[in-house]
């Protein structure tokens, strides 16, 4: 059974720092991996989706990489801002189910201090 782990569970940084969030998964047979942002008491917003054949995706100050063979993904946030404070979750979909059965990590709660 696929398991997804996110480390650290919580992170506090001063404004302006570059930071890396980690996501690891146990079964490398994935269809894609997604990174989401969740604000307190809200739903999830999709940030980046990486197909299994891709190595990275970029959107603005965000860059997500995927190393499928080692079961790892990282989300890099450049020049962090207080508005980046939120919980970040990664999720993988299995290769044989084309994205229907996502497995989520527990999330990393990020606080960026002014």
Partner 1 sequence: DGGITQSPKYLFRKEGQNVTLSCEQNLNHDAMYWYRQDPGQGLRLIYYSQIVNDFQKGDIAEGYSVSREKKESFPLTVTSAQKNPTAFYLCASNFQTGANVLTFGAGSRLTVL
Question: Is there binding between residue 58 and partner 1 (CB under 8 A)?
Answer: no
Question: Is there binding between residue 82 and partner 1 (CB under 8 A)?
Answer: no
Question: Is there binding between residue 95 and partner 1 (CB under 8 A)?
Answer: no
Question: Is there binding between residue 41 and partner 1 (CB under 8 A)?
Answer: yes
Which part of the chain contacts partner 1 (CB under 8 A), choosing from 12-20, 39-47, 64-72, 76-84?
39-47
Least distance between partner 1 and beta carbon 5 (Å): 10
Least distance between partner 1 and beta carbon 13 (Å): 20
* CA dist., res. 73 & res. 71, Å (int): 7
């Amino acid at each position: 059974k696929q398991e997804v782990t996110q480390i650290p569970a919580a992170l506090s940084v001063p404004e302006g720092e570059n930071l890396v969030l980690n996501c690891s998964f146990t079964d490398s047979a994935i269809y894609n991996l997604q990174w989401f942002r969740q604000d307190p008491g809200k739903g999830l917003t999709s940030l980046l989706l990486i197909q299994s054949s891709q190595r990275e995706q970029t959107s603005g100050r965000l860059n997500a990489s995927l190393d499928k063979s080692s079961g790892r993904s990282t989300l890099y946030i450049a020049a962090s801002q207080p508005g980046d404070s939120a919980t970040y979750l990664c999720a993988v979909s299995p290769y044989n189910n084309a994205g229907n059965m996502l497995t989520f990590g527990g999330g990393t709660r990020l606080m960026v201090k002014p």
